[in-house]
Amino acid sequence: MCVKVRKDFALSDESAINRSPLLPDRYPQGDFFVCDIFDAVPKADMASMEHPIFSLSTKPDTRVREYEHNGIKIAIKPSVDGLATVHDRDILIYCISQLMTAINEGKEVSQAVRFRAFDMLVATNRNTAGSGYAQLKAALERLAGTRISTNIVTGGQEVFRTFGLIESAEIVRETRDGRMQEVEVKLSDWVFNAIRSKEVLTLHRDYFRLRKPLERRIYEIARKHCGAQKEWRIGLSLLQKKCGSNSTLREFRRLVMNIIREDQSHDHMPDYSIEMNEQEDTVLFTNRQNVKVVLPQAVAPQLDPDVYETARMLAPGHDVHYLEREWREWLPEAPRNPEAAFLGFCRKWMQSRKNTG
């Protein structure tokens, strides 16, 4: 009996070691029922990717935080509910993504974004049980209650004022069992100004599968600063400052090393691998080549509306407008026959997916 218990513990330890650091993908994109929810590519505003706006804590954080770097000063003040967290940021990312998709399709947008709570939970890989809706409501309260005083520049304007991450949130309908159905969020002028100026960056979808708040924050910083470069290096103390970590430098080093060891075992960090030079106390991010260099964009005219139906047949289950944006960014020169060129791109794109998948 004693031997059996030890064997079970050994299996348990081995299972823990081999388990992926990523959260399970609760809603695979291959599921036709939810594929339309993923049409909006995840995007985040660059200002809050650059600066530590959100709390890394999973417990209520009621500290007033002040941050200063390269002339930028930020004071983040919580409500009684605590500071908005890195996971609360999912709501902003979802709203920004929806608005950027609408802008890219030539639609008019406003600061008020209405969405189905279920869609937001699925798109950000959250659970759709009752606890998921309760967490969403609490996140909205923290986002509305967190106030920022800053001189961050967005849209070519330097703003010196105090504002919330969102101006307001309203649950439009709620079911009898307490689950919200529709939500309306009014974004702050600051966030909306960044959207209209297209000061946003695309995030890897696995961002929503990162378990640890620090992993998410480190990825955001790498996405902002490394971008499409081959690599980017930062001192550990500056990385800690940008993360907004309240740990000692020694403890922060330990937390980062844990993430690095897991990434070396599982390659779980999106877009960038991570290494540390312990002698220099620096962290190196290396592009996994998922983020490409953006070349000067060739201009192609608007496509004939009929071409989209053909594109859907060539790339079943995929957002053809997303493929069009990818095609336009890739174009080396203006094509003579835009429709034929776009359909050719769709065929090659699907073939590359089959070859790698």
pLDDT digits (tens, 9 = 90+) for 34-49: 333 344 567 777 777 7
* 285 membership: H or E segment, kind and range: strand 282-287
Tokens of 289: 């080549």
Cα atoms in the Cβ-side hemisphere of radius 13 Å centred on 185: 30
For the residues 92-114, what does the mean pLDDT come to? 89
Describe the chain by its helix, strand, coil percentages, rounded to 5. 45, 20, 35
Q: Give the confidence band of 323 by pLDDT, cuts at 50, 70, 90.
A: confident
> What pLDDT, on the 0 to 100 scale, is given for residue 5?
39
What is the rounded distance in angstroms from the CA atom of residue 236 to the CA atom of residue 278? Answer: 10
What is the rounded distance in angstroms from the CA atom of residue 176 to the CA atom of residue 133? 13
Q: For the chain, give the mean pLDDT.
A: 82
Nearest to 65 by CA among 148, 2, 143, 152: 148
Q: What confidence score (pLDDT) does residue 237 get?
A: 95
Domain positions in the chain = 34-202, 211-294, 305-355
pLDDT in tens, 238-287: 999 999 999 999 999 999 999 999 999 999 999 999 999 999 999 999 99
Q: How many whole angstroms separate alpha carbon 301 and alpha carbon 314?
A: 21
For position 46, what pLDDT does the model report?
74
pTM above 0.75, yes or no: no
102 pLDDT higher than 80? yes
- In this structure, are strands 272-277 and 231-235 parallel, antiparallel, or unpaired? unpaired
Fold for domain 211-294? Arc Repressor Mutant, subunit A (1.10.10)
Q: Which residues are 339's β-sheet partners?
A: none
Among the listed residues 97, 124, 56, the one whose alpha carbon sits nearest the alpha carbon of residue 187: 97
Distance CA 105, CA 108 (A): 9
Residue spans of alpha helices (H) in the chain = 2-18, 46-50, 89-104, 117-123, 130-145, 189-196, 213-225, 236-243, 249-266, 307-314, 320-330, 338-356
Is residue 4 over pLDDT 60? no
Give mean pLDDT, residues 294-322: 76
CA distance 111 to 65: 27
Q: At 319, is the pLDDT very low, low, confident or very high (cuts 50, 70, 90)? A: confident
Q: What is the DSSP letter of 180?
A: E
User: Bridge partners of 169?
Assistant: 185
Nearest to 22 by CA among 263, 211, 273: 211
**Calpha distance 225→122 (Å, rounded):** 29
What spatial distance separates the first Cα and last Cα of the chain, rounded to whole Å? 45
